[in-house]
Structures are given as C-alpha cells and as structure tokens.
Structure 1
Amino acid sequence: MDELDPAVVQAVAAYLRAADRLLPGRVVACAIAGSIALRAYRPGRSDIDLLVVLGGGAIRRRDMRRLRRLHRSQLPRIAARVVRGHGLSATCNASFVHVSELTRPVRAIRPIASHVGERFAVSEAFDVNPVVWRELVDGGVVLRGGPIAGWGLDPEPAALQAWCRENLEGYWRAQRDALAARRLPMSTATLEWCVLGPARLDATLVTHRILSKDQAGVVALARFPEAAGVVDVALAHLRDEPLPSEPPRAQWRDRTIALMTAILDAAGGPVRRGAAS
C-alpha cells in the first residue's frame, strides 16, 4: 500500500482491523476499485470503494448484524472528517461477496450486503457490476489475498455496453427528469454528478474502456456541443479549481439537462463519433 495516499492507508487499515475484530477469520480477500483503481484518486474529495470477500460457512443473522456494526464503526471517523472540512472523502464503501460466488459471471453473483455512505443494504450491491469488475481486473489494488489475476473474476466483457445503456436508461433518465422538475438553484456538486456520471457511461460506450470522470469530461467535450460550459464547471468542481464565469449559474440546469438528454439519445441509437473516439 506504499503508493496510496496516507489518508487511504489509514482508512483501509482501520476498516480491516474492525472487520477482523467483528468477523474473525472471515475476510479472506479485499481490493480497492473506483478512482484508486483508475489512478484518479483526489485527496480530500474521493472515497474508497472496496470489494470484500468473505470465506467460511453461510452468512447467518449474527454475521449480518456484525456487518452492520462494521458499517457503523466508520461513523465516528466520518463525522470527525466532516467537522475538519474533509467531507466524506476517504470513506470506505464496501460490497461483500462470498468466496464461493467470486468466480461466477459478475451479473450472476449474489451479493451478501453493501454500504455506501450512511446506507446499508442487504443482499444487494450496486458495485457488483461489469464496470467495477473491469476496474478491478485492470487496476484493482489488493489489500488482502493474492494478485487479482488469480481471483478468477469474470467481468462479462460482452455485457459491458449493454449494462452501460441499461444504467443510463434505468437510472440517469429518471435523474434527468427529476432535475427538470426542480426549481431550486443548482449546486456545483449536483452539476458535477449529473454531468460526469452519464459522461462516464457514454465514454465507455465509445471507447470500450473504463475512464475516470476527468477523462470522461474530455470525451464529452469532443462529442457533444451541449457539453460546452457545463463540463468545464463540472471539471473545475472535481479538480477543486475556481469555477469558470461562463455559463452563468442561471443556465446550469438547462445546459445540464441538454447534455444529459444528448447522452441518453446517443445511447439509444448509433454512437456519435467525435475526436476522442
């Protein structure tokens, strides 16, 4: 872990200590996906996305109670970072799978549980999907267990594009519609989420690669006239840089909706070709 940011090293070490205390001998493997796997981690802004592999027998009620306690064990640390102005950065999100499921095609895996921020979910884990499995295979950072190449992960590469289209249609279309229904001023955090989230999926459809938010913003600028301005705002917020004066905040919502609509339309038809393709 020598190459990791010190805040990440501290966070994952504390998390695994808590996991070993609550579930002794059960955590047989663990790796980091997300921005760290993509070499795009931003200190003070990025969180930590873990795949935690549990061994031993079947998961029982007492094990699930301990997983909930593991999640809650993070809350004091999260609160302390928020008070110090670090937000939810360097927070461990985790998806739990049993070792017996690990080599199944990713869409066939039955997750044990997951937690993201303050939310804990039983028998579901959004990050058990073709995109995150590809991140792990290409650049996952192993915290416990042998090299990722020996884990037998099956990211189902033939399903990657279909999954991206399904996520755009099933999640981001509803987010676009909800954004259009609101009238409160749009925050920079919401703009970044609604611009770069769909842009990452579109970039994967075009390049067949998993790109960081920063890289996906560059692809969007090359592909969509609707991206002018709002991608610059999104990238400035992502990079913790001063926001550009154009477009004015009053136009953020309409321009974001226009870009989201263009990405949704492109995903439903022939892929637009641009300079980044």
Structure 2
Amino acid sequence: MPLPPQVSRSTTTFLAAIDSSSPGLVAGLYLHGSLGFGEFYPGHSDIDYVAVLARAPDADALAALAAAHQAVRERHPKPDFDGFHLLRQDLARPPEVCPDLPCTQDGVFRAAAPFYDVNPVTWHELARHGVTVRGPALTKTDVWTNDAALRAYSHDNLATYWSGVAQSLADRPDEASTDEATAWCVLGVSRLHHLLATGNLTSKSGAGRYALDAFEPRWRPIVTEALRIREASGVPSFYDGAPGRRGRDTTEFTAMAVEAGVALDPSLAI
C-alpha cells in the first residue's frame, strides 16, 4: 500500500538528511509493525524502522545519523520514528547476537544501546511483512527466522514482562482505566496469544479482532473498547461514565489472557 502521509514525510526527511551528510551510508530502510499488515492509525500508530547501513559507522557516520534523526524530530515530532541501524549480515543472524546498535527511542538518538525491538518478532515481521522504503525487498533468505525461537520468545514475554504488567494494573487501578492502558494491554496480550495459538504474526487491531472470537463473550466489551480507542472508529464507548469498570475489565482481561497464553505449549508446531 502507499505509505500514509505521516510516514512518508518522516522517512523522506530522514533519507534526505542522511544522504546529504553521508551519501551511501543508508543502503536500506524497512518498516515493520502494524504498517506491515496494512494498518496505520494517526495519533496511535508509531513508525517502527530498521535501517541497513552500507558499512560499520565511524564517529562521522554516527554524527550524521544523529543529525538526520534530529531533523525528523524537529520537523515531525509525531508519530515517533523509532528503530535501529545495523549491517545486512546482522539480519541473517539471530537478534540476540547483535551488539548494541545505533538507535532512536522516543526520537532520541543513541550511538550504541540495547533496543527493545531487537528481538525475534521484529526479524520475523521484516521477513514476512516488512515494508521496503529503500533497498531490495527482504526475503526469508536475507533475514534469520526460526518459528520455535519466535514462539519461545513470545511465551517468555507473556510469562515475565506481561505477567508483571498484569500485576501493576491490579496495583494501580487508576492507571488501568486510562485509554492508553486499555488499548496497549488488551491488544498487546491478545497479539501474543494469537501467535502462540495460531503460529502467525498479526497487528494489534488484528489481535483485537481475533480476541473477539477466541475468548469468552464476557470479554467482548473490553476488546471492542480497545479497538475503538486504537482505531478512533467513532463507535460509542460501552464504558462512558464508568472508568472504574473499564479499569477492572482491562486488569482482569490482561491477567486472563496472560494465563491462557502461558498455558499454551510453546514447543508445539502449528
């Protein structure tokens, strides 16, 4: 699909800036996340990128990257343009062997840091659903993939990180009732459950549509609410005037989906 205007302007600004200061450095620019599934919701979606460098960056190249990202941040502060830079051969290896990489998080450039998107989900999204902005289209021979590792990573993510989030929601009911918590938690845990149950990647909205049928009918109001928040669909909220009830449903759904996902055997092939 054509890039949404908000995405096109950020990628164009970045590439123009880096090409001006360090020609040839960025050989490839790829997008992943919901864009790879044909979804982008202004005000809710970020731009997740992976930039392939033609050579290992020296101090001058790192300074050029920092300036290019600063240009994006100044001209287009939203949506966030977050991601990392690596060499093409890095994509052919498991993400856990990547060194700390030049990256941007919340628009802030770091010359070498661990980055949360350096994980099996990103590698598999690039191989199967990546959006090419510059460079040759990535194929499964270019990017390391391993379905067993993807499932194991997703299972561990539910059992550790998301289990902690579920407890935090229970401990902080006021935060659980916010728009951000409802959309992020309900769709986030549904996305991981979908992968473990089906073996397939999906977007956040795709995960919500999956959850409407995968879980008991009692959960449909909170899943519909999460989709409403993310997609700004204009559908009236089931929870108007009842933020406490929305917070309780968000908390209980998150805990339920985490438990259900952890109960799935990550070693089973789909």
- TM tier, shorter chain? 0.7 to 0.9
Which of 236, 249, 253 does residue 255 from structure 1 map onto? 249
Equivalenced residues, count? 261
What stretches of structure 2 of length at least 5 have no aligned partner?
none
Measure how far apart 1:119 and its partner are.
4.3
Summarize deviations over 1:18-71 as a string: whole Å, max 9, x none. 222343321111111111111112244322111101122x43344434433333
1:107-186 to structure 2, matched below 5 A, reads 107-121=96-110, 122-149=112-139, 152-184=142-174, 186=177
TM-score by length of 2: 0.86
Mapped contact 1:129–1:155 kept (Cα < 8 A): no
- The separation in 2 between residues aligned to 1:118 and 1:14, in whole angstroms, is 14
Deviation at 1:110, TM superposition (A): 2.7
Equivalent residue, structure 2, for 1:229: 221
**Contact conserved, 2:158 with 2:262, CA < 8 A, in 1?**
no
Which residue of 2 is the match for residue 195 of structure 1?
Answer: 186
Q: Which stretch of structure 1 is more off in the superposition, 147-156 or 199-208?
A: 147-156
Residue 209 of structure 1, CA deviation: 0.8
| Secondary structure at 2:174 match in 1 | coil
Taking the aligned partners of 2:58 and 2:160, their CA distance within structure 1 comes to: 32
Q: CA deviation at 1:111?
A: 4.6
- RMSD (CA atoms): 2.4
Contact 2:197 2:264 in 1 (8 A): no
For residues 63 and 165 of structure 2, what CA distance do their matches in structure 1 show? 33
Secondary structure of the corresponding residue to residue 221 of structure 1: helix
| Superposition pairs of residues 1-277 of structure 1, within 5 angstroms | 3-56=2-55, 58-79=56-77, 88-89=78-79, 91-121=80-110, 122-149=112-139, 152-184=142-174, 186-225=177-216, 227-240=219-232, 241-246=234-239, 248-270=242-264
- Is the CA contact (8 Å cut-off) linking 1:217 and 1:231 kept in structure 2? yes
User: SS of 1:74's equivalent?
Assistant: helix
CA distance in 2, matches of 1:246, 1:150: 44
Deviation track 1:136-177 (CA, whole Å, cap 9, x = no partner) reads 222212122112128610122221111111222232122222
Counterpart residue type for residue 9 of structure 1: S
Query: Matched residues in 1 for 2:10 and 2:107: separation?
Result: 16
CA contact (8 A) 1:33 1:140 kept: yes
What TM-score results when the alignment is normalised by the length of structure 1?
0.84
Alpha-carbon contact 1:106-1:153 (below 8 Å) kept = no
Conservation of the 8 A alpha-carbon contact between 1:98 and 1:111: no
Q: Deviations over 1:216-257 (max 9, x none)?
A: 112222232362321111111111024423483211222111
Aligned residue identity for 1:49: D
**What secondary structure sits across from 1:252 in the alignment?**
helix
Task: Report the alpha carbon displacement of residue 94 of structure 1 after superposing the two structures with TM.
Answer: 2.0
